[in-house]
Amino acid sequence: MELWYTEQHTDDVRFSIKVNKHICSAQSEFQRIDVFEAVEFGKFLTLDGLMMVTEKDEFIYHEMIVHVPMAVNPQIKKVLVIGAGDGGTVRELTRYPGIEQIDMVEIDEMVVEVCREYLSQTACKLDDPRVKLYFEDGLRFVRTKQDAYDLIIVDSTDPFGPGEGLFTKEFYGNCHNALKEDGILVNQHESPYYGTYARSMKRAHKRIKEFFPVCGVYQAHIPTYPSGHWLFGFASKIYDPLKHFDASAWNALGIHTQYYNTALHVGCFAIPNYVKELLDSEDE
Amino acid sequence: MKKYTQQNAPIHEALLRHKANRVVPFDVPGHKGGRGNKELTDFLGENCLKADVNSMKPLDNLCHPVSVIKAAEELAAEAFGAAAAYFIVNGTTAAVQAMIMASCKAGEKIIMPRNVHRSAINALVVCGAIPVYVNPGVNAQLGIPLGMSLADVENAIRENPDAKAILVNNPTYYGICSDLVAIVALAHRHNMLALVDEAHGTHFYFGEAMPVSGMKAGADMAAVSMHKTGGSLTQSSLLLCGPSISAGYVRQVINLTQTTSGSYLLMVSLDIARKNLYQNGKELVRKTVAFAEYARSEINKLGGYYAFSKEMINGDTVFDFDTTKLSVHTLDIGLAGIEVYDLLRDEYGIQIEFGDIGNILAIISAGDRTLELERLISSLSEIKRRYSKDKAGMFDHEYINPEVVLPPQKAFYNKNRMVAIEESLGEISAEFVMAYPPGIPILAPGERITGEILSYIQYAKKKGCFLTGTQDLNIEKINIVEGI
């Protein structure tokens, strides 16, 4: 018998992983939640059938979404994380002793429950005393905050489904309002490669630019995401991700990482020409 | 004839049978189940095109129903607590017009509030009945027209004992209800028919703790816009009649203007929507109210906006309020409703039902999701933060008492001439001017053009209202009545 997990990356492209065992399948109010176990990728989580994290490559995503902004402003103390139910982003954040407060807002409590039970590799730091979990709509949560956070990380699903509201103009505007005057917004920024994802990427970039004076895009290689080429958005009110980046200060923190390093920090903002052109073009 | 219950949808079932029988079409429509128009079929889907068929014996005929349409109309009548129901495929406009034209002949009077939909006054242009307008109450804070006060209706009756009918707008677009039971009783005491434009009140028939419906209040006829809040397709509607009305005569009046090629897509949507409302209406309305109440409380927390509700009830001109409506007053953030309406669409990708001078209205239904409600609320929060202005200089009312000089039909068909709007002061209008939506006329044929009306039109144009009604599509010229 052969058991394969297949994700449709486009109408005409499929990505498959051979599965040992289907460990968990649940239906929440918002989405279908599954955990599988594979030889190649270890355990992995899917939401509505779409790949979220695998044990083998989650470090790339979580290190890149956290250490890039932290290396630009190591003084960050209050962080808001939206989405991120698997806990991986929070795990990376808890490695900074200077961070005093991490508010994590996940709309779907069941995702967190499932990850606590089956994906302790990412969910292991959700009980850190600095972490406070809120199970509500991210858009709603951020609406009521003003001048409250040094960093907001948007670790969402794709903008088709429960994550839709986190790719909207009203959300970015509310985030701008919730950030302090030197605040940074980092979001998962989809992929430039396939059409549907590229459109989401362009829309997100266009909208973020309307609110933030500094607006960059950086990239990472994530094998299990569509096309493997994934982007992150770096937006801030003051800090430039390269000019204000102090490599020796970050290295002095002594945080051991598997993917991120300070040379890569500089390199990841160098993006391919076709992506630059997509980001600069006006049409959606 | 087969015995049907509310678990049936006779037209739906007949269409399924028709399809299964693979009847060879040598009749209209010429697209022949979609094969003749591939692009349209690709867009709408084969199922849809296959259901777009013509009247035939097994599918009945809307103009003269004897089988499945008759059965579907009887089930609708039962579901709505009416003596008879008519499927309408020309919009609720046609239902309102049939109601008026079945009640009044040329020269006969009908009592109605002036803030009726244009379809009601259009009916007067067509049939020649004479309107007796009752000024609706006005809420000074919000600047919006309310329901009719019972005392004003009594006055109108005393002054016009020969009137044939009273038309009530219930609820208004904003969700405001008049004292329907008392008005109906009053009408009947004076041998007048009670008609209800219930375009925004389909859900009153199925939800719990809703304002009273037209049929329940004993009205003689009610126009119910199934497509607005009842879940059927756009342009499909119902005309309901009480026991005092001659069913055959109403059918004849409907047939004066309704198409002889009634769309089966529209009719089957009415049939299935009725079944759904009967079976699930209570739950659907409960969900709608919960969504609307949540949005109202969150919007009121934002400050600056006022999402109004039952606190408006005053026992008379606001006798009740439809809590499924999400009406929001915007003037206090220094933005006209129409400006907020445009910002929501152009900046935030959110289309709401209408924005007028001082308010916006979002239609809420059981088809909504929390996700979208949060987007609406957050967008309103952002609009306030980014665009709010000083409220000085805002036009603060929607409703202007008209001076009616001529009956609508006389003004419309009288000799008239076109002048520039700004030169029309003091003249009598021969046509409508209205912002659409909501479609309540600022000017109707036969009304005096005053300075207040001209500045309202100018202001509405400046704020971006979509004005309609005049022959001149740019609304720069207006037809005025000559020689009177």
Residue B188 covered by a domain: yes
Q: What average pLDDT does the segment B369-373 reach?
A: 91
C-alpha distance from A242 to closest chain B C-alpha (Å)? 30
**Adjacent-strand bridge partners of B223:** B197, B239
Tell whether the model's pLDDT for residue B166 goes beyond 60.
yes
State pLDDT tens for residues B173-208.
999 999 999 999 999 999 999 999 999 999 999 999
Q: What average pLDDT does the segment B115-133 reach?
A: 92
Tell whether the model's pLDDT for residue A151 goes beyond 90.
yes
pLDDT value, residue A283: 67
- Asked if residues A56 and A40 have their Cβ atoms less than 8 Å apart, the reply is yes
Tell whether the model's pLDDT for residue B438 goes beyond 80.
no
Question: Which is it for the CA torsion A211, A214, A215, A221, positive or negative?
Answer: negative
Q: Cβ of B221: how many Cβ atoms within 10 Å?
A: 31
Choose between B141 and A15: higher pLDDT: A15
Task: Please state the domain extents for chain A.
Answer: 4-54, 58-280
Touching check for A77 and chain B: CB below 8 Å?
A: no
Residue B5 covered by a domain: no
B460 — pLDDT class (breaks 50, 70, 90): confident
Indicate whether B118 and B256 sit together in one domain: yes
Indicate whether B35 and B166 sit together in one domain: yes
Q: In chain A, what residues touch B370 (CB-CB under 8 Å)?
A: 137
Choose between B484 and B337: higher pLDDT: B337
Q: Which of B230, B246, B278 marks a domain boundary?
A: B278
Indicate yes or no: CB of A173 within 8 angstroms of CB of B385: yes
Q: What average pLDDT does the segment B339-356 reach?
A: 95
Residue B401 covered by a domain: no
How far is residue B347's CA from residue B368's CA, in Å, rounded to a whole number?
21
Q: What average pLDDT does the segment B46-57 reach?
A: 96
Q: What average pLDDT does the segment B78-94 reach?
A: 97
CB pairs under 8 A between A and B: 43
- Write down the mean pLDDT value for chain A: 94
Choose between A159 and A267: higher pLDDT: A267
Indicate whether B188 and B237 sit together in one domain: yes
Q: Which of B260, B278, B296 marks a domain boundary?
A: B278
Sheet hosting strand A149-155, strand order edge to edge = A131-134, A101-105, A78-83, A149-155, A179-188, A229-236, A214-221
B142 — pLDDT class (breaks 50, 70, 90): confident
Residue B393 covered by a domain: no
pLDDT value, residue B400: 84
* Interacting residues of A242 by C-beta distance below 8 A, sequence separation 6+: A266, A269
Nearest CA in chain A to B378: A170
- Taking a contact as any Cβ pair under 8 Å apart, which residues of chain B between 377 and 396 contact chain A? 377-379, 381-382, 385-386
Q: In chain B, what residues touch A208 (CB-CB under 8 Å)?
A: none
B372 — pLDDT class (breaks 50, 70, 90): very high
How far is residue B315's CA from residue B412's CA, in Å, rounded to a whole number?
38
Which CATH number belongs to the domain containing residue B417 in this structure? Answer: 3.90.100.10
Nearest CA in chain B to A173: B382
Which spans in chain A are helix H? Answer: 58-72, 88-93, 109-118, 120-123, 138-143, 169-178, 195-209, 247-252, 262-267, 273-280
Indicate yes or no: CB of A174 within 8 angstroms of CB of B381: yes
Residue B376 covered by a domain: yes
**A58-280 maps to CATH 3.40.50.2020:** no
Touching check for B370 and chain A: CB below 8 Å?
A: yes
Q: What angle do CA A49, A53, A54 make, to 5 degrees?
A: 105
Tell whether the model's pLDDT for residue B391 goes beyond 90.
no
State pLDDT tens for residues A232-246.
999 999 999 999 999
Choose between B396 and A67: higher pLDDT: A67
Q: Which of B374, B385, B386 is closest, CB to CB, to A139?
A: B374
State pLDDT tens for residues B254-304.
999 999 999 999 999 999 999 999 999 999 999 999 999 999 999 999 999
* Percentage of chain B lying above the pLDDT 70 cut: 100
Give the total number of structural domains in chain B.
Answer: 3
Which CATH number belongs to the domain containing residue B146 in this structure? Answer: 3.40.640.10
Touching check for A139 and chain B: CB below 8 Å?
A: yes
Q: In chain A, what residues touch B287 (CB-CB under 8 Å)?
A: none
pLDDT value, residue A164: 84
Q: Which of B374, B379, B382 is closest, CB to CB, to A140?
A: B374
**Adjacent-strand bridge partners of B241:** B84, B221
Question: CATH classification of A4-54, choosing from 2.30.140.10, 3.10.20.30, 3.40.50.970, 2.40.50.100?
Answer: 2.30.140.10
Tell whether the model's pLDDT for residue B464 goes beyond 90.
no
Angle between helix B370-387 and helix B264-302 axes, rounded to 10 deg: 50
Indicate whether B236 and B353 sit together in one domain: no
**Identified catalytic residue from A108, A150, A155, A158:** A155
Tell whether the model's pLDDT for residue B398 goes beyond 80.
no
Tell whether the model's pLDDT for residue B396 goes beyond 80.
no
Tell whether the model's pLDDT for residue B1 goes beyond 70.
no
Indicate whether B247 and B336 sit together in one domain: no
How far is residue B100's CA from residue B165's CA, in Å, rounded to a whole number?
8
Indicate yes or no: CB of A173 within 8 angstroms of CB of B370: no
Helix and strand counts by DSSP (H, E) for chain B: 15, 20
Q: Which of B298, B370, B382 is closest, CB to CB, to A170?
A: B382
State pLDDT tens for residues B208-260.
999 999 999 999 999 999 999 999 999 999 999 999 999 999 999 999 999 99
Q: In chain B, what residues touch A164 (CB-CB under 8 Å)?
A: 371
Q: Which domain holds residue B111?
A: 10-278
- Write down the mean pLDDT value for chain B: 94
State pLDDT tens for residues A105-135.
999 999 999 999 999 999 999 999 999 999 9
pLDDT value, residue B129: 95
- Asked if residues A150 and A78 have their Cβ atoms less than 8 Å apart, the reply is yes
Is A127 catalytic? The answer is: no
Q: Is residue B314 classed as helix, strand or coil in its secondary structure?
A: coil
Indicate whether B132 and B270 sit together in one domain: yes
Q: In chain A, what residues touch B298 (CB-CB under 8 Å)?
A: 140
How far is residue A201's CA from residue B218's CA, in Å, rounded to a whole number?
58
Q: In chain B, what residues touch A168 (CB-CB under 8 Å)?
A: 348-349, 375, 378-379
Instruction: Please provide residue B98's backbone torsions phi and psi, each rounded to the nearest 5 degrees.
Output: -65, -40
- Taking a contact as any Cβ pair under 8 Å apart, which residues of chain B between 248 and 307 contact chain A? 298
Touching check for B347 and chain A: CB below 8 Å?
A: yes
